[in-house]
Amino acid sequence: MSQHNVERIIGLLATDEGVRGRFRKDPRATLQDLLDRGFELNDCEFSSLVALDAREITRFARALDPRLQKIDLRGDGPWKGEPS
């Protein structure tokens, strides 16, 4: 189950501008927020994702077709002010 979550999180980082921005600022807190929302990761997966180079994620995201991207119109990340 957690490999599926690793893939989902990498997908979010690549396609969601808000998640990517939060990750750039604070990878641990961003991943912890995802865990709090039901994603499951073991310690090794968590550590490996925290160690990802945010610049490389951004570079990859820019290479994707813009139609695959979710932009952050509010500029405050994907969770602030959103209803649960």
Task: Band the pLDDT of 71: cuts 50, 70, 90.
Answer: confident
- C-alpha torsion 63→57→40→48, nearest 10: 140
Q: What is the pTM of this model?
A: 0.80
| pLDDT number for residue 72 | 67
Task: Band the pLDDT of 78: cuts 50, 70, 90.
Answer: very low
Q: Supply 5's token pair.
A: 């979550």
DSSP 68: G
pLDDT, greater one: 26 or 77: 26
